[in-house]
Amino acid sequence: MKSDLDALMAQKNFDALLVFGNAENNPPMTYLTGGGHVSAATLIKKRGETAVLFCNDMERDEAGKSGLTVRLYGEYPWQEMLKEANGDTALMSALRLRRMFKDMEISGRVGLYGFSDVSSLFAVLSHFERLTPEVELVGETRENSIFMLAMETKDADEVARIRRMGRITTEVVGLTAAYLKEREVRADEVVLKENGSPLTIGDLKEKINLWLAERGATPSEGYILAIGKDAGVPHSQGNPVDEVKLGQTIVFDIYPQENGGGYFYDFTRTWSLGYATPETQKLYDQVKNAYERVIENLDMNAKFKDYQALTCNIFEKDGHPTVRTEKAPLQGYVHSLGHGLGLNIHERPWSGLTAADDNLLKPGVVFTIEPGLYYPEQGMGFRIEDSYWMSAEGKIELLAEYPYDFVLEMKNWKK
Amino acid sequence: MKSDLDALMAQKNFDALLVFGNAENNPPMTYLTGGGHVSAATLIKKRGETAVLFCNDMERDEAGKSGLTVRLYGEYPWQEMLKEANGDTALMSALRLRRMFKDMEISGRVGLYGFSDVSSLFAVLSHFERLTPEVELVGETRENSIFMLAMETKDADEVARIRRMGRITTEVVGLTAAYLKEREVRADEVVLKENGSPLTIGDLKEKINLWLAERGATPSEGYILAIGKDAGVPHSQGNPVDEVKLGQTIVFDIYPQENGGGYFYDFTRTWSLGYATPETQKLYDQVKNAYERVIENLDMNAKFKDYQALTCNIFEKDGHPTVRTEKAPLQGYVHSLGHGLGLNIHERPWSGLTAADDNLLKPGVVFTIEPGLYYPEQGMGFRIEDSYWMSAEGKIELLAEYPYDFVLEMKNWKK
């Protein structure tokens, strides 16, 4: 949680954190500011102190909504500094950054973060490092950065925002299912749209994107709506020109985000329209069974990867290859069980078999459970995914309910 | 244009360019790859050679669409390198980058670009610089970076894409005007929505966002739809709770982008619903006059800032303060005349009075013309903006036509 940042800074021996970029679509900055229309900001947090948000003068009001200490770039006369920098704007920005650090009396190890333009920042920081030898800038790899560690556990407000995205997600999934069930079906089992031409994956995605936009949610780039062979490839987004047909598995993995780069939800259902073949029904039931057994066994403070091992056990007993029995399997159970979820679609805790032991189902984590089976050569794939929250009391809450029907009955079609 | 990159590299003494990040929502990478779902890629372009796009193995097909030479991270065995790096993933990435440079036989000055996670990249590049002293990484400030210089002139395909966004933009502006004209009006001149409650700026923005989404365009963050006092502040986005009223100036500045971070269009109209006051009509006519005189006088290869001077002349004669008569005016003509437009909403050529002399209306530039007048204390603001293209033959093409009516007649209201 945000309140852990000072303790984490002490553990990592950071004297300050330095975050660059916009308040939106920039997880570390969004996390500390709450988002909003503040652009090209510089946030500096000294250990044990409230963060200071430096921004352009005309964004003062917007920055004020963050509740942080707001200071304006205008306090540092750019004309004067540009002269000192002989017209070099990167050097000018470095001189200004140095003054900010002096004003805040910061030296020592400073963690560097943000999603930003690399080129100009590199130019500025090269000057800054030369001018400010008393500061050591430190970059961190994403997996275990201080923000990943802090973000791993959520406060009540964050959980409420994820829950709200869950409600929107399941509403849109419900609309999608209802739309599919109403469709007419051609003799060759191709599903038709209103005008009588075949319904494609692309048509469906257009509708889904609109339903999300109407609800203030951003459709994530490349979300998955895949049928047939594509459904058997976990990362295939599906082919927009693929026609929707009865009796084929459709994997629908949707992870919308609050507009402006806020919190995600993550959800998957697998459907077969009209009917299931005995083979697909059998595999779907195995995925459902694995999902249920994992959920029944979730315990507070357990290692997340232990459930990955449990899932491998279950699928191996059912006769499938898994990531434990093969190095990089292309069929069977080919991925990890889940991941943490927040301002990043993938964050701590991690569930892979080789994940570090400190990836626990701690109180406050929000995480996905998403077992699946994939047989691309047979043109089928299956995944069930929901997002859960581990409360302070160890209660495990499903953040948005949605039925687990595999076969969607078509209103205008009978076998 | 892209074809200028090698010459620009020679001018800037760059032996190679290094671009990090996703193919989408990342102007330099989008520019070179054409976009698409390629994530966390590394693009290296050696002077005089086709760019090489390194990506994850499973994104090989998507990367292939770029037409660049595609190579896979998988060529470099990460297990072996991770061992060499003692488990430090940042060092491993630096070792891999070093191998890529060796394979491509690159040394010397290398320009660094992309929109990316700063923290992990800084960690990787710190190692890389230490390991690879024969390479000097160089960051550039945005205004005159090699990409800004190359992007300044557009090829036919780029112009077609901007023109298409112009068509979508003006369609949505037309829908907005039609919707406004149909509304009922309360006795106090407040405009009402279908359910009889006051229509707000927020209501309108919701509709506009949906109309854009339906057409495959992304509504830009914080576009401007401002009424009354907010209309008098050039950068105010407008207040979502403001009610729409007759006889007030509404500044509607909309700059949608192709989905996935592609090309922008930029457009502004100013409206007054039902009627105009004599004062607002007079100022609108002055802005329209300034706009027309600038357009009449545009010449191939002229300095863009000369038209900023012309606009100041015109507005000063009309008795307004301008950015030339005052240092940072809050009323009158308070901004620059326009800017280049492409994968960035603001790019070269620049039109400010102090812009460098090489910001010319060269063949191939796409640029906005957007004179305006602002009087926030009197609750009014005016701007007219269109986007133009200077063809190779010096023909100046308006990229999307739309009427310049100031007063929108309300169907169900008479004075």
Structure tokens at A236: 């295939």
- pLDDT, average across residues B9-35: 96
pLDDT of residue B342 exceeding 90 = yes
Q: Which of A236-245, B43-52, B94-103, B314-323 has the lowest mean pLDDT?
A: A236-245
- φ/ψ (deg, to 5) at B13: 60, 45
Tens of pLDDT, residues B179-216: 999 999 999 999 999 999 999 999 999 899 889 988 98
Cβ–Cβ below 8 Å for B138 and A117: no
User: CA–CA separation, B92 vs B79, rounded Å?
Assistant: 9
Q: Which of A58, A139, A214 sits opposite B123 (nearest CB)?
A: A139
Cβ–Cβ below 8 Å for A122 and B145: no
User: CA–CA separation, B70 vs B260, rounded Å?
Assistant: 21
- φ/ψ (deg, to 5) at B240: -55, -30
| B-chain residues near A137 (CB < 8 A) | 122
| B-chain residues near A210 (CB < 8 A) | 210, 213-214
Q: Give B113→chain A minimum CA distance, Å.
A: 5
Cβ–Cβ below 8 Å for B124 and A138: no
pLDDT of residue B77 exceeding 90 = no
The answer to whether the CB of A141 falls within 8 A of the CB of B90 is: yes
**Residue whose structure tokens are 């998955």:** A224
The pLDDT of residue A218:
86
Closest-CA residue to A405 (of A296, A272, A315, A283): A272
Which is more confidently placed, B248 or B144? Answer: B248
What secondary structure does DSSP assign to A118-161, as a single string? HHHHHHHHHHHHHH-TTEEEE---GGG-HHHHHHTB--HHHHHH
| B-chain residues near A260 (CB < 8 A) | 221
Cβ–Cβ below 8 Å for B145 and A58: no
Confidence band, pLDDT 50/70/90 cuts, at residue B290: very high
Residues 145-184 of B with CB under 8 A from A: 145
Is some CB atom of chain B closer than 8 A to the CB atom of A306?
no
Percent of chain B at pLDDT > 90 equals 83
Is some CB atom of chain B closer than 8 A to the CB atom of A220?
no
Closest residue on chain B to A90 (Cα): B141
Tens of pLDDT, residues A320-341: 999 999 887 889 999 999 999 9
Q: Which of B137, B141, B213 sits opposite A120 (nearest CB)?
A: B141
Is some CB atom of chain A closer than 8 A to the CB atom of B330?
no
Question: Which residues is A373 bridged to in the sheet?
Answer: A382
- Residues with Cβ within 8 Å of B191's Cβ and at least 6 positions away in sequence, in order, are B180, B183, B184, B185, B198, B199, B243, B244, B245, B246, B273, B410
Tens of pLDDT, residues B405-414: 999 999 999 8
User: CA–CA separation, B89 vs B359, rounded Å?
Assistant: 43
- φ/ψ (deg, to 5) at A164: -65, -40
Q: Give B102→chain A minimum CA distance, Å.
A: 22
Q: Which of A73-87, A292-306, A350-364, B96-110 has the lowest mean pLDDT?
A: A73-87
Cβ–Cβ below 8 Å for B260 and A89: no
Q: Which of A89-98, A226-235, B375-384 has the lowest mean pLDDT?
A: A226-235
Percent of chain A at pLDDT > 90 equals 83
CA B20 to chain centre: 20
Cβ–Cβ below 8 Å for A112 and B118: yes
- Residues with Cβ within 8 Å of B170's Cβ and at least 6 positions away in sequence, in order, are B267, B400, B401, B402
Question: Please, what are the domains in chain A?
Answer: 2-149 (3.40.350.10), 152-408 (3.90.230.10)
User: CA–CA separation, A100 vs A132, rounded Å?
Assistant: 12
Confidence band, pLDDT 50/70/90 cuts, at residue A415: confident
Structure tokens at B244: 């729409």
Q: Give A204→chain B minimum CA distance, Å.
A: 13
The pLDDT of residue B330:
86
The answer to whether the CB of A362 falls within 8 A of the CB of A391 is: no
- pLDDT, average across residues B259-283: 96
> CA dist A390 to A150, A358, B237, Å?
16, 16, 39
Residues 7-26 of A with CB under 8 A from B: 20-21, 24
User: CA–CA separation, A353 vs B57, rounded Å?
Assistant: 21
Tens of pLDDT, residues A26-82: 999 999 999 888 889 999 999 999 999 999 887 888 899 999 999 999 899 888 898
- Is it true that the peptide bond before A28 is cis, omega within 30 degrees of 0? no
Q: Which of A94-98, A214-218, B243-247, B385-389 has the lowest mean pLDDT?
A: A214-218
Closest residue on chain B to A207 (Cα): B214
Closest-CA residue to B369 (of B386, B390, B393, B391): B386
Is some CB atom of chain A closer than 8 A to the CB atom of B213?
yes
- pLDDT, average across residues A359-371: 98
User: CA–CA separation, A309 vs A322, rounded Å?
Assistant: 10
Residues 244-273 of A with CB under 8 A from B: 260
User: CA–CA separation, B380 vs B230, rounded Å?
Assistant: 8
What secondary structure does DSSP assign to B44-110, as a single string? EEETTS--EEEE-GGGHHHHHTT-SEEEEGGGS-HHHHHHHTTT-HHHHHHHHHHHHHHHTT--EEE
Q: Which of B119, B139, B209 sits opposite A123 (nearest CB)?
A: B139
Tens of pLDDT, residues A269-281: 999 999 999 999 9
Mutation target for A interface from B22, B117, B203: give the one with most A CBs within 10 A. Answer: B117
Is some CB atom of chain A closer than 8 A to the CB atom of B130?
no
H-run or E-run covering A103: helix A89-103
CA A90 to chain centre: 33
Cβ–Cβ below 8 Å for B112 and A118: yes
CA A70 to chain centre: 29
User: CA–CA separation, A185 vs A37, rounded Å?
Assistant: 47
Percent of chain B at pLDDT > 70 equals 100
| A-chain residues near B120 (CB < 8 A) | 139-142, 145
* Alpha-helical regions (H) of B219-277: none
- pLDDT, average across residues A190-198: 96
The pLDDT of residue B223:
82
- Residues with Cβ within 8 Å of A278's Cβ and at least 6 positions away in sequence, in order, are none
| A-chain residues near B145 (CB < 8 A) | 119-120
Tens of pLDDT, residues B139-150: 999 888 999 999
User: CA–CA separation, B275 vs A308, rounded Å?
Assistant: 68
User: CA–CA separation, A10 vs A16, rounded Å?
Assistant: 10
Cβ–Cβ below 8 Å for B118 and A120: no
Structure tokens at A35: 């988002």
Closest-CA residue to A205 (of A182, A180, A232, A235): A180
The answer to whether the CB of A322 falls within 8 A of the CB of A336 is: no
Residue A263 CB burial class (10 angstroms; 0-12, 13-18, ≥19): buried
Confidence band, pLDDT 50/70/90 cuts, at residue A220: confident
The pLDDT of residue B58:
75
CA dihedral sign of residues A127, A128, A134, A135:
negative
pLDDT of residue A221 exceeding 80 = no
The pLDDT of residue A166:
98
Over its C-alpha atoms, chain A yields an Rg (Å, rounded) of 25
User: CA–CA separation, B172 vs B220, rounded Å?
Assistant: 14
Q: Average model confidence (pLDDT) for chain B?
A: 94
pLDDT of residue B219 exceeding 90 = no
